[in-house]
Each structure stands twice: as structure tokens, then as C-alpha cells.
Amino acid sequence: QKEVEQDPGPLSVPEGAIVSLNCTYSNSAFQYFMWYRQYSRKGPELLMYTYSSGNKEDGRFTAQVDKSSKYISLFIRDSQPSDSATYLCAVTQGGSEKLVFGKGTKLTVNP
Amino acid sequence: DTGVSQDPRHKITKRGQNVTFRCDPISEHNRLYWYRQTLGQGPEFLTYFQNEAQLEKSRLLSDRFSAERPKGSFSTLEIQRTEQGDSAMYLCASTPGIMDEKLFFGSGTQLSVL
């Protein structure tokens, strides 16, 4: 079983739609949860950062972590064509432990 | 530009040749990471440095790979006797220190081995 599972999609939505992206993980020791956005031929860019369970909101983006079910989500409200990218979830235990990434979900928002 | 800088952006080489990539982290970031990303996959950890000390290496990092970070500033990743399976995007990331898990990535070096 992989440490982090993420549906690679692709996911195609109309502009203005609410987008839901999800990952599951296997190691209950993970405590830090991140979402990165990656445009084509670019490096990943940190979008959301959450410690432990709960919700975090930043503009149109909301990150949710449910440690009891080992499930993390990213919601994008009022999606825009500029949101078209690959979204990567990433988890870590923290300290000196490395960041473990999901495969990424490719999102296209159609005007 | 004060972000993570990687050079070159693209590298095409023939199988069996040696290649070297350079990464300049964000100034005063103590920790530096190398990741590899293949098409349709997330980045996979290769190795990381705390200042000049290389603290962990993935088993993905065969003996053909070597990384250095002299003086705890820039880092180089060398691949000797390249193979077609080495074709990938090599990403460098840095973070301020031990208690900060947020990684800041460069744009990567895209390696194609013919």
C-alpha cells in the first residue's frame, strides 16, 4: 500500500464550479498536510499548509484534514481557468522526516 | 528573484554520459532537498542536506548518483553513466530549518537521456 493515494484524474469542470480534490494516507504518524499546485513544466508551489486535523481557509481555497479517517481534501470555490494545473497533496511526520507526495490530480477549468 | 534557482532548465544527453545539475536555495535556508518527478507521478524524495551535512538518502539514489552541498550554500546533483530510466524532472527545494516543513521548490531541471 502506497503511503499516499491520490486519484490522478483528469478532472474537467466549468468555470465557477466547486472543485473537490482528495487524498488518503496510510501512516497515522503524519501530522503535517500540504497542497501544492504545479503548472506545466514548473516546480510545485505551496498552496495550503495544515497541522493536524481541522479546516483552513484561504480565499477561494479550503483545506480539510480528518486524521481519524486519514483523509485530506482541498476545495476550490468559484473555480477559474487560471486554476487549471496539477494539484499534489503532500504529508510528513515533521521534524527531519521527508515530505511524501501523492501522484497529483490534473484539473482543467473550462471558460 | 529570491526563489530557489536551478540550472540548467533542460538537459539532453546521451546514455552513458555524466551530467551535473546545480541548485541555489533561498538565502539562509538551512535545509535543501532533491526530488525526482516522472510524468504522471508526484515528486519522489532523493536526498536532503542540513547545511553541508547530507542527512538522508533514498534507496532510489543508486551509486551512480551523488549530491554535494559544499559550505552549506548551493548544491549539485551528479548522475554518472546516465541511463534512459534517469529521464525525469529533478527538483530542488529548500526550507528555513528543522521545524519548518514548508518546502519551496525551484522550477526543476528536465533531463532527457537518449
pLDDT of A103 = 95
**Distance from C-alpha of A20 to C-alpha of A87, rounded to nearest angstrom:** 11
By the 8 A CB rule, do A38 and A104 touch? yes
**Distance from C-alpha of B109 to C-alpha of B34, rounded to nearest angstrom:** 11
Confidence of residue A96 (pLDDT cuts 50, 70, 90): low
Confidence of residue B59 (pLDDT cuts 50, 70, 90): confident
Q: What's the farthest any 2 CA atoms get from each other in chain B?
A: 41
CA distances from B66 to A66, A76, B61, B93 (A): 39, 40, 8, 17
By the 8 A CB rule, do A3 and A82 touch? no
**Distance from C-alpha of B43 to C-alpha of B34, rounded to nearest angstrom:** 9
Average pLDDT for B28-52: 93
* Percent of chain B scoring above 70 in pLDDT: 96
* Percent of chain A scoring above 90 in pLDDT: 80
Confidence of residue B96 (pLDDT cuts 50, 70, 90): confident
Task: Flag whether pLDDT at B78 surpasses 90.
Answer: yes
Confidence of residue A88 (pLDDT cuts 50, 70, 90): very high
- Per-residue DSSP letter, A99: P
Task: Flag whether pLDDT at A81 surpasses 80.
Answer: yes
Task: Flag whether pLDDT at A11 surpasses 60.
Answer: yes
CB contact (8 A) between residue A96 and residue B104? no
pLDDT of B61 = 84
Nearest to B30 by CA among B60, B67, B78, B75: B75
- Asked if A24 reaches chain B (Cβ–Cβ under 8 Å), the answer is no
By the 8 A CB rule, do B57 and B48 touch? no
- Per-residue DSSP letter, A18: -
- Asked if A91 reaches chain B (Cβ–Cβ under 8 Å), the answer is no
CB contact (8 A) between residue B43 and residue A94? no
CB contact (8 A) between residue A95 and residue B99? yes
* Percent of chain B scoring above 90 in pLDDT: 74
